[in-house]
């Protein structure tokens, strides 16, 4: 049932083109307009929403962080992302104008379920983004957008993560369509580009041999740092989480801009640092800033592993390794840049002889608070 893969996790990483394709399927008409029939919440309510709060745990919360950048940009709706177990215990400001979006692969995470219940008690509408039909969180939500990633067996989430991002983007694009957007051309372009993403994920997977070699060479690493900026920041957090979860290596993700405010003190000779580089075609010179971060850590002896777009030559002078991903709109990049980090963690854990699918101390769904 692993289809010849050494683990379910590796199989599920390789299923991501299909998982994302299935999540998009049936939700775009032939003119590229978005239909979200399952969003059974009155349009007048969706128009009056003045705040979105994402609640989730673990990897799902990082998908929420990615979604925040997109939803705030396209829809101009203030969007907070909160760990579900923190949300409920701090008297959050939630009311009839709040849309709570619960991300959960299993639909059974108790912390997330309790946050959903709390939000509804305050009068908020709840949409869940879930991968498991008929599970508890969707049943207790006002509406559900299913990610059609197929069953995810490995404890460490991979294809559910990419599908959650895709589903959240559909929600954001739908709200932009419904409420109007300052960027109608961009919204149209993203809808078109989303359909190219499964093939681009496949391109990243096809080049995965390089990442496997790297993981084998780095299997003695004791600590790995991940830097990213904008949507690359939650990708960095996710890359670090994967390594902790299954390879038991100390790993930290940082916002690249934070480097000089602290984390650079950690960098010494031989420290591996992954850097997720934003597209050079993006706004606000973020690309140049991240390239200088690579330079800064390299100058202090770091081994830099850089994830950059095809054709981005500015990174090469400071990179020990470059992993290429196809070009894509800035907000869609996480659907590509996450993939090598998943593969890296999976192959590194495998080369250490660990049980990749059943990491110690973790459970696939945590149904206690
Ligand atoms: C954790 C799992 O306990 O729960 C993670 O080990 C997962 O992989 C998190 O991201 C949230 O789970 P779910 O099912 O709510 O998305």
Distance CA 313, CA 227 (A): 19
Tell me, what's the pLDDT at 167?
A: 97
Quick: pLDDT tens for 28-87: 877 778 888 888 899 999 999 999 999 999 999 999 999 999 999 999 999 999 999 999
Question: Ligand 1 center to residue 365 CA distance, Å?
Answer: 6
Q: Are 341 and 213 in contact (CB under 8 A)?
A: no
Distance CA 60, CA 132 (A): 14
Residue nearest atom 6 in ligand 1 by C-alpha distance: 364
Closest atom of ligand 1 to 156 CA is 8
Quick: pLDDT tens for 88-106: 898 999 999 999 999 999 9
Closest atom of ligand 1 to 57 CA is 11
Tell me, what's the pLDDT at 33?
A: 81
Q: Which residue matches tokens 């945590």?
A: 366
Closest atom of ligand 1 to 363 CA is 6
Task: Using alpha carbons, select from 166, 162, 202, 154 the residue that is nearest to residue 346.
Answer: 154
Tell me, what's the pLDDT at 282?
A: 79
Task: Kindly provide the ipTM of the predicted complex, given to two decimals.
Answer: 0.96
Question: Ligand 1 center to residue 60 CA distance, Å?
Answer: 7
Q: How confident is the model at residue 26 (pLDDT cuts 50, 70, 90)?
A: confident
Distance CA 188, CA 25 (A): 17
Alpha-carbon dihedral sign for residues 261, 234, 350, 215? negative
> What percent of the chain is predicted at pLDDT more than 70?
100
Distance CA 329, CA 191 (A): 11
Quick: pLDDT tens for 208-231: 999 999 999 999 999 999 999 999
Tell me, what's the pLDDT at 21?
A: 96
Residue 344 pLDDT more than 90? yes
Q: Which residue matches tokens 């709706």?
A: 77
Task: Give the pairing type, strands 223-228 and 51-56.
Answer: unpaired
Question: Residue 48 gets which letter from DSSP?
Answer: H
Q: Could you tell me the two tokens for 215?
A: 């993981």
Quick: pLDDT tens for 296-321: 999 999 999 999 999 999 999 999 99
Distance CA 367, CA 369 (A): 7
For a ligand 1 pocket test, name from 364, 367, 368, 369 the mutation site with the most ligand atoms within 8 angstroms of its C-beta. 364
Question: Ligand 1 center to residue 105 CA distance, Å?
Answer: 7
Residues in the chain, total: 369
Residue 3 Rama label (left phi>0; alpha psi -120 to 50; beta): left
Q: At what angle do helices 197-206 and 208-217 cross, to 10 degrees?
A: 50
Q: How far is CA 165 from CA 77, 331, 332, in A?
A: 17, 10, 9
Residues with Cβ within 6 A of ligand 1?
57-60, 104-106, 109, 112, 155-157, 362, 365-366
How many other CB atoms sit within 10 Å of the CB of residue 89? 10
Tell me, what's the pLDDT at 284?
A: 73
**Which of 51, 244, 289, 364 does the annotation list as catalytic?**
364
- 182 assigned to active site: no
pTM above 0.90, yes or no: yes
Q: What are phi and psi of 253, to 5 degrees?
A: -105, 140
Q: How confident is the model at residue 174 (pLDDT cuts 50, 70, 90)?
A: very high
Chain centre to alpha carbon of residue 69: 11
Closest atom of ligand 1 to 366 CA is 3
Tell me, what's the pLDDT at 226?
A: 98
Question: Ligand 1 center to residue 267 CA distance, Å?
Answer: 31
Tell me, what's the pLDDT at 35?
A: 86
Mean pLDDT score of the chain:
95
Question: Ligand 1 center to residue 362 CA distance, Å?
Answer: 9
Question: Residue 270 gets which letter from DSSP?
Answer: T
């Amino acid at each position: 049932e692993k289809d010849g893969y050494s683990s379910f996790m590796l199989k599920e990483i390789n299923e991501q083109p299909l998982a994302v394709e299935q999540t998009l399927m049936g939700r775009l008409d032939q003119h590229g307009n978005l239909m979200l029939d399952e969003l059974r919440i009155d349009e007048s309510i969706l128009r009056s929403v003045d705040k979105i709060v994402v609640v989730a745990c673990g990897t799902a919360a990082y998908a929420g962080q990615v979604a925040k950048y997109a939803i705030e940009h396209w829809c101009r709706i203030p969007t907070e992302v909160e760990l579900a177990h923190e949300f409920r215990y701090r008297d959050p400001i939630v009311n009839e104008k709040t849309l709570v979006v619960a991300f959960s692969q299993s639909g059974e995470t108790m912390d997330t379920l309790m946050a959903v219940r709390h939000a509804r008690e305050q009068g908020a509408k709840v949409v869940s983004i879930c991968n498991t039909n008929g599970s508890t969180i969707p049943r207790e939500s006002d509406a559900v957008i299913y990610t059609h990633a197929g069953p995810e067996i490995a404890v460490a989430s991979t294809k559910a993560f990419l599908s959650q991002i895709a589903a959240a983007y559909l929600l954001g694009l739908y709200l932009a369509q419904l409420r109007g957007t300052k960027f109608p051309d961009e919204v149209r372009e993203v809808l078109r580009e989303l359909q190219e993403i499964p093939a681009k994920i496949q391109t990243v997977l096809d080049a995965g041999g390089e990442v496997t070699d790297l993981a084998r060479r780095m299997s003695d690493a004791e600590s790995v740092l991940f830097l990213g900026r904008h949507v690359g920041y939650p990708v960095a957090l996710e890359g670090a989480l994967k390594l902790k979860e299954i390879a038991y290596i100390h790993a930290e993700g940082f916002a690249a801009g934070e480097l000089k405010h602290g984390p650079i003190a950690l960098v010494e000779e031989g420290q591996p640092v992954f850097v997720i580089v934003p597209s050079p075609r993006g706004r606000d010179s973020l690309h140049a800033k991240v390239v200088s971060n690579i330079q800064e850590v390299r100058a202090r002896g770091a081994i830099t592993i850089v994830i950059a777009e095809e054709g981005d030559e500015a990174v090469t002078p400071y990179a020990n390794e470059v992993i290429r991903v196809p070009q894509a709109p800035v907000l869609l990049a996480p659907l590509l840049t996450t993939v090598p980090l998943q593969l890296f963690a999976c192959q590194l854990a495998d080369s250490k002889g660990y049980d990749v699918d059943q990491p110690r101390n973790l459970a696939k769904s945590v149904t206690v608070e």
